[in-house]
Structure 1
Amino acid sequence: MSSQSIITQASAVTFDQRVDEIAKQVAKYHKDGKKIFASSSFQPQSVVLLDIISRVDKTIPIYFLDTNYHFPETIAFRDQLAEKLGLNIIDIKSDIPVDKQVDENGQPLHATQPDKCCHINKVAPLEDVLPQFDVWINGIRKGQSSVRAQMQKEEEGKHGILRYHPILDWDSKMVFQYINERKLPLHSLVAKGYFSVGCLPCTGKADPTKPLWSDDRSGRWQGQQKTECGLHTSL
């Protein structure tokens, strides 16, 4: 399936008002003296929030969790968007080297204890960032999981952080329509059947038997009883 065939299936939506509302909210945070940061995994849907941030306030730092397990295509996508959108990207990673991230039998944690792997490489590094800021902008959406479906646009997070989810009510059709209208690049793995891209060892292609827009995280942690890395359940 080509990237173009994916984005042309998205229904038309007008986005100017939505972007204006986000801009007003960010301006209010600034007026109130709040320090703002954003996080991004630079997966396929990430480009929407990143583009909006680039239009609203390019100075907002965007933290990227470099787990050392990303697809090369994700790193290339990060670099492409940084240049195209003029983003202020800050890479962070765990203090524990990959060769030390093993269980008692010497097996990689991502294979035997994925929750612990996610905590070491995602949750712990970002938790260290939270005390430096007042507002955390991230791109979670209700349709991505049952956990996220219960979230609100603004919620209190750990260490007193205010979590702001500006595109919480966007569905996948809206995401790809925005990409189409703004002529934004697509993550190169989308055309190969990956609609949600995490770390390489724990990401597979989306379920080909499901409708394109029905479950864009079906490739994450395939075969495991796991749907979240912990960032949005513990922070």
Structure 2
Amino acid sequence: MSQFDSLVEEIKKDLDGYKDRGLKVFASSSLQTNSMPLLHIISRVAPDVPVYFLNTGYHFPETLSFRKQVQDLLGLNITDLYSAVPRNQQKDAAGRLLFTSDPDYCCYLNKIQPLEPILASNDVWISGVRGDQSKVRAAMKREEKAPNGVIRFHPMLNWTSKMVYDYIREFKLPKHPLESEGYLSIGCEPCTRKIDVNALLDDRSGRWAGMNKTECGLHTQLIQK
């Protein structure tokens, strides 16, 4: 018996309920260490659920290698989503790449816009956000509304960081290779920094350092209160 059996069964019950209602379900993942429990659970209880990875073109090579490792290990159907705007055209009027001058618009082009067609053709979006990751996420509910009448389903919302790592240890799951080098929350390479654990504010520390920005928009713009 695993200490996580009841939690996994609860997620399975929710997913079976969506399926019984004829709803189309998909998941998104950033393919980080903290993504592993949810991806592993999906592979166990709903392996047919498609998983989408927003491939911005700015990811660390280690993230792309980890993506392949996870897909091979869990046998999931992971599909990359890309921006319709080529990266060499993602510049402002002064010719600067958008991640340097307008990171919000950069995130829109590379994260939000590519996901919009998926939202338009599905009913339930599984997201692995946790309440202990940031104040924004702490205010979320297990189910929220997203555009196009889609249900955002947050099965990991009440999990803690300790639970994530306990699950990873119990099931001998891999960790993102950059975590051991001091990266905790790993996104696009230009906007991700190593963190000082003594100055750690929350699990999102290290993203968009020096900017008044903590989210790419997936969990702020694609949610309806």
Q: Which runs of 5+ in 2 are unaligned?
A: none
Q: Number of aligned residue pairs: give it.
A: 221
- Greater RCO (CA < 8 Å, at least 6 residues apart): 1
Match of 1:229 among 208, 211, 216: 216
- Looking at structure 2, the residues matched to 48 and 203 of structure 1 have their Cα atoms a distance apart, in angstroms, of 23
Match of 2:84 among 95, 104, 113: 95
- C-alpha contact (below 8 Å) 1:158/1:234 kept by paired residues: no
- C-alpha contact (below 8 Å) 2:144/2:153 kept by paired residues: yes
Match of 2:159 among 170, 182, 190: 170
- Looking at structure 2, the residues matched to 128 and 27 of structure 1 have their Cα atoms a distance apart, in angstroms, of 24
The superposition leaves residues 12-46 of structure 1 with CA deviations (integer Å, 9 ceiling, x where unpaired) of: x9211100100011011101110000000101211
How far is 1:206 from its partner? Answer: 2.0
2:35 — aligned with what? 46
What is the TM-score when the length of structure 1 is the normalising length?
0.92
- C-alpha contact (below 8 Å) 1:44/1:197 kept by paired residues: no
2:203 — aligned with what? 216
How far is 1:217 from its partner? Answer: 1.4
Q: Which runs of 5+ in 1 are unaligned?
A: 1-12
Larger mean CA deviation between 215-224 and 62-71 belongs to 215-224
Q: Helix, strand or coil for the counterpart of 2:18?
A: helix
1:15 — aligned with what? 4
Letter of the structure 2 residue corresponding to residue 154 of structure 1 = E
- Looking at structure 2, the residues matched to 126 and 118 of structure 1 have their Cα atoms a distance apart, in angstroms, of 11
The superposition leaves residues 109-155 of structure 1 with CA deviations (integer Å, 9 ceiling, x where unpaired) of: 00110000000000011012101101000100111111111100011
Q: Helix, strand or coil for the counterpart of 2:198?
A: coil
Q: Helix, strand or coil for the counterpart of 1:73?
A: helix
1:161 — aligned with what? 150
Q: Helix, strand or coil for the counterpart of 1:163?
A: strand
How far is 1:210 from its partner? Answer: 3.7
Q: Helix, strand or coil for the counterpart of 1:45?
A: helix
How far is 1:208 from its partner? Answer: 2.6
- Looking at structure 2, the residues matched to 30 and 127 of structure 1 have their Cα atoms a distance apart, in angstroms, of 22
1:143 — aligned with what? 132
The superposition leaves residues 175-208 of structure 1 with CA deviations (integer Å, 9 ceiling, x where unpaired) of: 1111000100000011001111000000001233
- Looking at structure 2, the residues matched to 40 and 207 of structure 1 have their Cα atoms a distance apart, in angstroms, of 25
Match of 2:46 among 57, 79, 94: 57
For the aligned residue pairs, the C-alpha RMSD in angstroms reads: 1.1
**Percent identity for Structure 1 against Structure 2:** 53
